Amino acid sequence: MTKKISMKVSGMTCMGCEEHVAVALENIGAKNVEASFRHGEVLFELPDDIGIESAKKAIDEAKYQPGEIEEISSQENVVLGNEGDYDLLIIGSGGSAFSAAIKAVEKGAKVAMVERGTIGGTCVNIGCVPSKTMLRAGEINHLAGKNPFGGLNTKAESVDMATLTENKDKLVEGMRQQKYVDLIDEYGIDLIRGEASFIDENTVEVNGQKYIANKFLISTGASPSIPNISGLKEVNFLTSTTALELKEVPKKLAVIGSGYIAMELGQLFHNLGSEVSLMQRSERLLKEYDPEISEAVDEALTKQGLNFITGVTYKKVEQNGNMKKVYIEVNGEERVIEADQLLVATGRRPNTGSLNLKAAGVEIGKRGEVVVNDYLQTSNPNIYAAGDVTLGPQFVYVAAYEGGIVVENALGAANKKVDLRFVPGVTFTNPSIATVGLTEQQAKDQGNDVKTSVLPLNSVPRALVNRETNGVFKLVVDNQTKKIVGAHVVAENAGEVIYGATLAVQFGLTADDLRNTMAPYLTMSEGLKLAALTLDKDVSKLSCCAG
């Protein structure tokens, strides 16, 4: 038999330190060692005939300082009970739900999934997949009508929106079937159709049938949030879901909101031929980003023809026939924005209203989100939550990661904390916006002494040959350690570039590490190396490829 141990360890500063600690413990017979210098902790299994003092001595001899020790569990990896119908019952069927379900089945658990609507959740059905394929269509149409190369005589004809929407739906149906529906039978997951509502702490009811489980995962996602503007509820407005169902391109589109959903859909319809106005309460576009990033986005999209109206106070909304009118005030001046379609894109609200969480002893926050701790556990220790319903970073890859963490903690002997410090985010406009790590302001707010590099896109050779130079690269570097703590990009294919930056930020690479790499010439990712060089050089004075 073995005992699972969590030990705090001081002195680890890098991945090499993690390896030193792991080797020291393995040399005394420890198994499944997981060391984390970021958390200052090591998890390992120790045979019963080896004492804790031996582990402490091994750490000490490796020149690290052992600290607080906790014995997590002496059970086998999967803890399965007999009281419930299921070991794990999952409410919802999106990214976190399927990630958790597959991992739980692989551990030998009996799993059920409850779904009241379409299987697959937001991303495949009404989010990432449909919006990005339509964005690509809009981009091609825009370039056909207005490309940056002299000598190319291309033009854009009128758009057959109904066919575009039909083809989008076929793509969604195929991916939903292959990536979600087919996996239910393949993994032996019990699918329960209907709406789940908690009766007590370990029981839900679906269509009058009661189901008991040892552990639960709430994975119900989020829906468009509708602001409280006078008259809005009496108007036929679009949301991010219904906008992608249109069969005709609107002549004029007004958008309430200018976050990533508003900008993506606003640019989509602009590229398909709409006249688009985006309105927001804030004075600055993308106010949570550093100023250089928001200014680059504002300049690029405004140059393309999108109309941004900032500092807006909404007065009321009316509809006359098919025409919608948004009455606003800007700098004390009253204005009326008219459009044949109105899109409301002002954030998302968690889908918790029908779950009767009070009966299960599950706490919710001010915005209706399920409140979780670092282990994704709710106020009821047998109920977990993951994905958009917690109002964390709303990306499918975050939801999938969290689903895996839930299974390790709920069905195993693990005690894993969720770590969302290095989540990359991408807005799929063109130029796209990608970011990872800390902004300059966030770093300063945390008390860090930082240096920044701001590289205009016209200093990146790939952008020059593309003849698309609206954008910027920005790196945030810790002055003491020289490590890159944040990277932010506005450029074509910024989403492809940010993965390399994510590795740099997450694994503590320095500016010198970037300078000393070979970046392929005439790639957009070369901008990361050039931005690192810009910390102490004028890249405009360098030859191509010359670092």
The set of catalytic residues is 12, 14, 17, 64, 123, 128, 544-545
Q: Which alpha helices (DSSP H) does 364-413 contain, by range?
A: 396-410
Tell me if the bond preceding 431 is cis, omega within 30° of 0: yes
Spatial contact of 89 and 115, defined as CB atoms under 8 Å apart: no
CB-based contacts of 296-304 (< 8 A; 24+ apart in sequence): 296/431, 296/457, 296/470, 296/471, 296/472, 296/490, 297/263, 297/429, 297/431, 297/433, 297/490, 299/470, 300/431, 300/470, 300/471, 300/490, 301/263, 301/267, 301/429, 303/470, 304/142, 304/267, 304/270
Sign of CA dihedral 359, 360, 362, 367: negative
Q: CA-based angle 520:523:528, to the nearest 5?
A: 80
How many other C-beta atoms lie within 10 A of the C-beta of residue 85? 14
E strands in 48-144: 65-73, 86-91, 111-115
- Cα(50)–Cα(64) distance, integer angstroms: 20
DSSP character string of 202-223: TEEEETTEEEEEEEEEE---EE
Q: Which residue has the tokens 């069969």?
A: 247
Encoding tokens for residue 186?
A: 């393949």
Residue 12: name the closest of 4, 26, 3, 22 by CA: 22
In this structure, what DSSP letter does residue 96 have? Answer: H
- Cα(530)–Cα(182) distance, integer angstroms: 46
CA torsion 446-38-382-67 (nearest 10°) is: -110
CA-atom Rg of the chain in angstroms? 26
Residue type, 37: F
- Cα(328)–Cα(239) distance, integer angstroms: 20
Encoding tokens for residue 201?
A: 């702490």
Spatial contact of 300 and 470, defined as CB atoms under 8 Å apart: yes
